[in-house]
Amino acid sequence: MCGIVGYVGPRPARGIVVDALRRMEYRGYDSAGIALVDGNGGLTVRRRAGRLANLETALAETDDNILTGSTGLGHTRWATHGRPTDRNAHPHRDAAAKIAVVHNGIIENFAVLRAELEAAGVEFASDTDSEVAVHLVARQYATGDTAGDFPASVLAVLQRLEGHFTLVFANADDPGTIVAARRSTPLVVGIGDGEMFVGSDVAAFIEHTRHAVELGQDQAVVLTADGYRITDFFGRDDLQAGRDYREFHIDWDLDAAEKGGYDYFMLKEIAEQPAAVADTLLGHFVDGRIVLDEQRLSDQELREIDKVFIVACGTAYHSGLLAKYAIEHWTRLPVEVELASEFRYRDPVLDRSTLVIAISQSGETADTLEAVRHAKTQKAKVLAICNTNGSQIPREADAVLYTRAGPEIGVAATKTFLAQIAANYLVGLALAQARGTKYPDEVEREYHDLEAMPDLIARVLAGIESVGQLARQFAKSPTVLFLGRHVGYPVALEGALKLKELAYMHAEASPPVSSSTARSR
């Protein structure tokens, strides 16, 4: 979940943008950058992989005379397309270095759009999907039917984009204007006194204003120092506050703003579970086929697999136990699930026909990484399921599927667990598809069933008040036993783990025992 900020007004933008990025560090990120429009036709971009301090060092080493301007964009990136490097960090520029963009989300049809641009002679400077957007806007602004009209050029491009995204553009040829848009990811406008702000959440500008506007789905906003204008992607501007978008006063303090109004990061992350699952599924069913993020295994190699091991730790291990049921059912392959810490010490029987699925939120879990390396020495194939692009486990794997849960600040895993389950199911369907154990229409039907998960999760979360009542009822219990059968058993294990982690209560998980077994005790 990237952090985005934009500012247009009378004050120097540099300090405002960098301070906003600092306030959004809680979101987690792997790189950061800013773009400044100087008002004289110049656009300056500085970006660095790693901590925000790296960007601040780069700014300190830059001549202050070129870091001027009262329009600016800022971005903290959580990598999705392209590794976390300087060249993939945001903002991105067009070839003429006139237009800059910052982006959160995924442009699902970027490969088609990139091929179109490359065929027209555009050279790309990064591996990201985001760069497609800025080149399209630059071309539209220069030679399209909206040439010379910056906001109209952005709208024309938005109509072509698929996926979910927040995009914010600035243009050195139109220095007093920012154009921003959203589809399925957050975008909030801050209304100041003779200045305007935009951000992925109110933490970006809460220090400067408490008056905010939350855009609706498929809406764009044109910002100048004097105000804002909201339209849909086709330029229709007869939108009404309260019906199409929401005006509100921010009554949280900064700490609460970072948590999105929730008391704790964990509550915020629980609420983000539907989006985490939806984002993980998005873009993985293309032209009637399940596709992974990084696929270096052919269908023939997948057909030759005769057994599967899943290795993971903690919550990821529990998601692997759930995956076992689905993968065995869909592929008719034997599946073993092992704690990564024990895997290599057991000296399991592995060969070229073995697939090892390694699950890790961070992509750096030491035991899981060592299990991957052990599997590779035995010539086994390795498929990684991770939440962190560019981490070590995906780099050493033969195929990768990324969960799109964003950073998880809370110690106890919540949204990453459900995102891992969704990813595991996608892997199972990809195997069934390659092996022919499910017909294409069956794979499509299963995928569409998975797409219903976010709404079902949201329904459960809607009943959170009743959960609180149960918690108060059982708070003084000396022991809590979680029972579950079939896929319910791994869920019971995860529930017991959560209770131990968070409430420090004794909890155990077990399949239900038969009455005769119970009596024999």
Name the residue among 409, 3, 467 with its Cα closest to residue 198: 3
Contacts of residue 420, Cβ cutoff 8 Å, sequence gap at least 6: 315, 316, 319, 359, 361, 385, 403
> Which segments in the chain show pLDDT lower than 50?
515-516, 518-521
Q: What is the pLDDT of residue 164?
A: 84
| Spatial distance between the Cα atoms of 431 and 429, rounded to a whole number of angstroms | 5
Per-residue pLDDT reduced to its tens digit, 289-336: 999 988 889 999 999 999 999 999 999 999 999 999 999 999 999 999
Cα diameter, the chain: 86
Q: What is the pLDDT of residue 29?
A: 79
pTM over 0.85: no
Contacts of residue 498, Cβ cutoff 8 Å, sequence gap at least 6: 412
**Partner residues linked to 390 by β-bridges:** none
**Amino acid letter for position 15:** G
Residue 339 CB-density burial (10 A; 0-12 exposed, 13-18 middle, 19+ buried): middle
How is domain 466-521 classified at the architecture level of CATH?
3-Layer(aba) Sandwich (3.40)
Contacts of residue 144, Cβ cutoff 8 Å, sequence gap at least 6: 153, 156
Contacts of residue 209, Cβ cutoff 8 Å, sequence gap at least 6: 190, 191, 192, 193, 197
Q: What is the pLDDT of residue 515?
A: 38
Q: What is the pLDDT of residue 468?
A: 87
Q: Are 33 and 46 in contact (CB under 8 A)?
A: yes
Query: Strand runs (DSSP E) across 302-380, as ranges?
Result: 307-312, 335-339, 354-360
Q: What is the pLDDT of residue 517?
A: 52
**351: its two tokens:** 């060969």
Q: What is the pLDDT of residue 165?
A: 92
Strand bridging mode 92-93 / 188-191 = unpaired
Q: What is the pLDDT of residue 257?
A: 65
**Which strands make up the sheet holding 399-402, listed edge to edge?**
294-295, 399-402, 381-386, 354-360, 307-312, 335-339
Locate the domains of the chain by residue range. 3-258, 267-462, 466-521
Q: 267-462 and 466-521 share one CATH topology? A: yes
Q: Are 214 and 180 in contact (CB under 8 A)?
A: no
Give the count of beta carbons closer than 10 Å to the beta carbon of residue 474: 11
Name the residue among 280, 291, 310, 295 with its Cα closest to residue 417: 280
Q: Does domain 3-258 have CATH number 3.90.180.10?
A: no
178 sits in which H/E element = strand 178-183
Per-residue pLDDT reduced to its tens digit, 444-487: 999 999 999 999 999 999 988 888 889 999 999 999 999 999 99
Counted residue by residue, the chain has a size of 521
CATH level 3 topology of 267-462: Rossmann fold (3.40.50)
**332: its two tokens:** 């008719």
| Spatial distance between the Cα atoms of 107 and 278, rounded to a whole number of angstroms | 14
Q: Are 239 and 215 in contact (CB under 8 A)?
A: no
